[in-house]
Amino acid sequence: METELSRQLGIEHAIFGFTPFPAVAAAITRAGGFGVLGAVRYTAPDDLKRDLDWMQDHTDGRPYGLDVVMPAKKVEGVTEADIEAMIPEGHRRFVTDTLAKHGVPELAEGEASGWRITGWMEQVARSQLDVAFDYPVGLLANALGPPPADVVARAHDQGILVAALAGSAKHARRHAEAGIDVVVAQGYEAGGHTGEIASMVLTPEVVDAVAPLPVLAAGGIGSGEQIAAGLALGAQGVWLGSLWLTTTEASLGSRTLTAKLLAAGSGDTVRSRALTGKPARQLRTEWTDAWDDPAGPGTLPMPLQGLLVAEAVSRIQRHEVGPLLGTPVGQIVGRMNSERSVREVFDDLTRGFEQAVHRINRIAGRNGS
């Protein structure tokens, strides 16, 4: 499963695996793919340094990457406290009432909220990069389009490729103009923040829009046959995220959440603004239903919504409140019906890819060769 991009990065299979878990990222790299560690949850640089040290010790000298979240445009002089003060009191009451309705306990005294929107602020991302640039990172990806020009230049100076996610051909062209090396065409089916164009349509549009830049197909991909389809559409690899959530190396920290993922079908996700204020595909829960209910106050724009719900999400996760418990995940969740190791997932992907290629070869009269 080699392409020009995979050969450039020195990997066996053109499978790029995004994950917030170092053990999963390292296992993806060891299996012959390209593990990409999500950095958004590392608000303390020392924590990221610790996990990158661990990655160095567990990737056998093979390449891996880092995914950050930073806006291309900087907003000067705005602090988290300034943003928090903009949250309406009515929205705070709605959160309190929703949690009370489901009997969600408070966090223990002194226990800090785990997930905070601070990981989306530029100064935090820059502190992450100050750490990451001391490591042999092969690819820097940004989930909010191209990072600032000085970050792109700094990465290029160190021989690091820069990737950015795009949900439309228009966005992809802007990425190319900003000096991005790889465009991730993320379709509507994907977990997390997505646009409104499905992968089958989006991938070839982006390939044509940014040629000859390499494109990775993302969204709704969880089998070798789908990987073959992505490459047939012109992509030079695939970007997989949701598929790793139910691997044995993942650290969701909740058996309840794992069970929900394993039981979910492809129709059990929803694009909702409930988590961050921007449309993000996630498990449909009574929490997302409450925020999407026209009778409610509606969600706030990013980053206000993320700050508003941060403690609530931590309480729901900490106490494993099943009806409210969810996570960003794509429609491919319908195929995630057993816990397997990353290696087992890779074996299944490569086997399915080979079968798909042989099937197309037979159709083309090449006798499966």
Q: pLDDT tens-digit profile of 55-90?
A: 999 999 999 999 998 865 555 556 777 878 899 999
pLDDT value at residue 333: 98
Note whether 187 and 194 are within 8 A (CB).
yes
Note whether 243 and 11 are within 8 A (CB).
no
Question: What is the arithmetic mean of pLDDT over 195-207?
Answer: 97
At 215-225, the pLDDT tens digits run 999 999 999 99
pLDDT value at residue 367: 66
Contacts 24+ apart (CB under 8 A), 44-51: 45/127, 45/128, 45/130, 45/131, 48/128, 48/131, 48/132, 49/131, 51/22
Q: Which residue has the tokens 């059990």?
A: 268
At 300-311, the pLDDT tens digits run 988 889 889 999
Question: What is the arithmetic mean of pLDDT over 247-267?
Answer: 95
Q: What is the distance between the alpha carbons of residues 89 and 294, in angstroms, rounded to a whole number?
A: 18
Count the alpha carbons within 13 Å of 354 in the hemisphere toward its beta carbon: 8
pTM: 0.93
Note whether 306 and 277 are within 8 A (CB).
yes
pLDDT value at residue 253: 85
At 176-187, the pLDDT tens digits run 999 999 999 999
Burial class (CB in 10 A: 0-12, 13-18, 19+), 30: middle
pLDDT value at residue 205: 98
Judged by average pLDDT, the poorest of 19-23, 39-43, 192-196 is 39-43
At 91-118, the pLDDT tens digits run 999 999 999 999 999 988 877 666 555 5
At 121-130, the pLDDT tens digits run 677 888 999 9
Among 309, 316, 273, 321, smallest CA distance to 293 is for 273
Using a pLDDT cut of 70, give the percent of the chain over it: 94
The two three-digit tokens of residue 332, written as one number = 């491919």
The 3-state secondary structure of the chain, one letter per residue: CCCHHHHHHCCCCCEEEEECCHHHHHHHHHCCCEEEEECCCCCCHHHHHHHHHHHHHHCCCCCEEEEECCCCCCCCCCCHHHHHCCCCHHHHHHHHHHHHHCCCCCCCCCCCCCCCHHHHCHHHHHHHHHHHCCCCCCEEEECCCCCCHHHHHHHHHCCCEEEEEECCHHHHHHHHHCCCCEEEEECCCCCEECCCCCHHHHHHHHHHHHCCCCEEEECCCCCHHHHHHHHHCCCCEEEECHHHHHECCCCCCCHHHHHHHHHCCCCCEEEECCCCCCCEEEECCHHHHHHHCCCCCCCCCCCHHHHHHHHHHHHHHHCCCHHHCCCECCHHHHHCCCCECHHHHHHHHHHHHHHHHHHHHHHCCCCCC
For residue 143, name the pLDDT band (cuts at 50, 70, 90): confident
Burial class (CB in 10 A: 0-12, 13-18, 19+), 18: buried
35-65: burial string, b at 16+ Cβ within 10 Å, e else: bbbbbbebbeeeebbebbeebeebbeebbbb
Radius of gyration for the alpha carbons in the chain, expressed in angstroms and rounded: 20
